Chain A
Amino acid sequence: MATTPDPKADPKAAAPKTPEVKAQYIRAVYGRMVDPLTALEYTSIPSELYKRTSWVDSQLEAKKLELCDPPEEAAA
């Protein structure tokens, strides 16, 4: 039997807490690179990693891209 939801109940309190996803930052080690799968561009200036594709993983493994700290303005 279906139960009617209590209109006074707070749905936010009932929902399980999901861990907050922390943004990752990435930069190109040698020079400008463009992900052929997403057309996202990476330079020596750290930028947020919007999508970690298999191509990005390859570059991280080859040390052509590296994960890094966010730039100062983003950290602040």
Chain B
Amino acid sequence: MAKFKIQDATGALAEVDVDMSLFRAAADGGHAHGLRKLDAEVQTAPEGLTASQQVYAQLGLHRKDVSFGHALDMKGFQAASTQDNSVTGRLVVQAFLMDAIEASLRSSDYGITGLFNRKAAVTDSINGTKFERPILNFTRPAAGRSKAIAQLSEPTSMLLMTASDKSFKIAGSSIGIEYSDQVANSVSLPLVTLSMQRQAEEEALERVEDQLLNFLNGDTDLDMVALASVAGAVKNAKTDYDSTLLAGALSQKAWVGWLFNNSRKRRIDTVVTDLAGALAIENRSGRPNVGSDNATSKRIDTLESVVNPTWPDRVEVIISQDPSWPANTIMGFDSRYGYHVVTSTSMSYSAMEEFAIRRSTKIRFDAGSIAYRLYDDAFSVLTLS
């Protein structure tokens, strides 16, 4: 156990115990780790350090030269009341590594986890690994329109919401690190953090690309059919919009036609495709440009302006590097209604065990989430073949 001093929003110093009981209570309360519980409970100044950052700072974890073993054993920590520094040090270092990995996934060049969550219509965290998917039935409202009714009558059009009969398990993925006692004293904490961040980034990128591909191909584990099986979801640039197109090419007519299609129900603001698909969008023929236009010429002309556009000013393109992403295939969705991400906080588990005989230590971090299409109508596929 170790006592840390935390400065709250009023400037007062509060003394908090950081020990196993804090981390156990955090797990019970659905927090990823113990210091997140402190963050939730201790209100700090908005422009200042959070409670967890203050704990990290008191341990000197922000220093670039701090060795891993030094951090784990809290050798840099000077406080009046400390018992068994080793346990607290290990708990805090785990939390630090977890936060560093998460921050990296949110803000690195890829930032893929942050991007994926930002594009989600809904993100939920559940304290458990079993998830009951809501079934949204739009058959009745889609078949008719709301209309005037007599007093005390039931409305003619109602959305039906039921829970799935099947519960889905949120499978987890783990990342681990094992280090010998000898290396702990020589390797620095930033190096360990960097190594884990790199691995986690690669994994997160693959996982997100896999989930995006599942939106297209379907996932039987989540009762999600392929978009090919959704009526009207697939359009072909040549046969549906522009008969002059060759395979792999796109024109302004086909692009806008696809964005416009079904736009009473959704507005495509994000597309996922491979690099060749992204280049086809950029190099589409007939794309408006003002390079040869003289806006000041005295000519007989009127400039038209669509006052009710059903396409956004900017369509964001996510380029998938998944080799299984099909060529000449663009999947678009309306990020307001597109997909639902469910994260299991109980999977955000970290554990550390010491192998006394092997003179080594292992740390593992588990994370689990699922994503599924919330409304099939929010998605559409454009093939360029």
Contact B326 A59 (CB under 8 A): yes
Supposing A54-B247, A58-B247 touch, asked if A36 and B383 sit within 8 A by C-beta, the answer is yes
Interface of A (DSSP majority class): loop
> How many contacts between A and B, using CB within 8 angstroms?
71
Residues of B208-260 contacting chain A, CB below 8 A: 216-218, 226-229, 234, 236, 238, 247-248
Q: Smallest CB–CB gap between A53 and chain B, Å?
A: 8
Chain A, residues 53-76, CB within 8 Å of chain B (1/0): the string is 111011101101000000000000
Contact B381 A36 (CB under 8 A): yes
Q: Smallest CB–CB gap between B247 and chain A, Å?
A: 6
Chain A residues within 8 Å of B323, by CB: 29-31, 64
Contact B227 A36 (CB under 8 A): yes
Q: How far is the CA of A23 from the CA of B381 in the complex (A)?
A: 29
Contact A37 B326 (CB under 8 A): no
Q: How far is the CA of A53 from the CA of B384 in the complex (A)?
A: 12
Chain A residues within 8 Å of B227, by CB: 36
Contact A36 B234 (CB under 8 A): yes
B327 close to chain A: CB less than 8 A: yes
Residues of A29-43 contacting chain B, CB below 8 A: 29-39, 41
Chain B residues within 8 Å of A62, by CB: 276, 326-328
Chain A residues within 8 Å of B248, by CB: 58
Chain B, residues 343-385, CB within 8 Å of chain A (1/0): the string is 0000000000000000000000000000000000000010111
Chain A residues within 8 Å of B238, by CB: 54
Q: How far is the CA of A41 from the CA of B339 in the complex (A)?
A: 23
Chain B residues within 8 Å of A32, by CB: 217, 324
Chain A residues within 8 Å of B381, by CB: 36
Q: How far is the CA of A53 from the CA of B324 in the complex (A)?
A: 18
A28 close to chain B: CB less than 8 A: yes
Contact A33 B324 (CB under 8 A): yes
Q: How far is the CA of A58 from the CA of B238 in the complex (A)?
A: 14
Contact B226 A39 (CB under 8 A): yes
B113 close to chain A: CB less than 8 A: no
Chain B residues within 8 Å of A41, by CB: 217, 226
For B210, give the chain A residue with the smallest CB separation. A31
Chain B residues within 8 Å of A28, by CB: 324
Contact A57 B385 (CB under 8 A): yes
For B327, give the chain A residue with the smallest CB separation. A62
Q: Smallest CB–CB gap between A47 and chain B, Å?
A: 15
Q: How far is the CA of A54 from the CA of B276 in the complex (A)?
A: 17
For B329, give the chain A residue with the smallest CB separation. A36
Contact A55 B217 (CB under 8 A): no
Chain A residues within 8 Å of B216, by CB: 34, 36
Q: Smallest CB–CB gap between A58 and chain B, Å?
A: 4
Contacts from A to B (Cβ < 8 Å): 28-39, 41, 53-55, 57-59, 61-62, 64
Question: Could you name 24 residue pairs across A and B whose Cβ atoms are closer than 8 Å?
Answer: A29-B323, A30-B323, A30-B324, A31-B322, A33-B324, A33-B326, A34-B218, A34-B226, A34-B228, A36-B216, A36-B226, A36-B227, A36-B326, A37-B228, A37-B383, A38-B228, A39-B229, A54-B236, A54-B247, A54-B383, A57-B385, A58-B384, A62-B326, A62-B328
- Beyond A30-B322, A32-B324, 16 additional pairs, beta carbon < 8 A: A31-B322, A32-B217, A33-B217, A34-B228, A36-B326, A36-B381, A38-B228, A39-B228, A41-B226, A55-B326, A55-B385, A58-B248, A58-B327, A58-B329, A62-B276, A64-B326
Contacts from B to A (Cβ < 8 Å): 216-218, 226-229, 234, 236, 238, 247-248, 276, 322-324, 326-329, 381, 383-385
A-B complex: 10 closest residue pairs judged by Cβ atoms: A62-B327, A31-B324, A39-B228, A58-B385, A54-B385, A30-B323, A58-B328, A36-B234, A36-B228, A34-B226
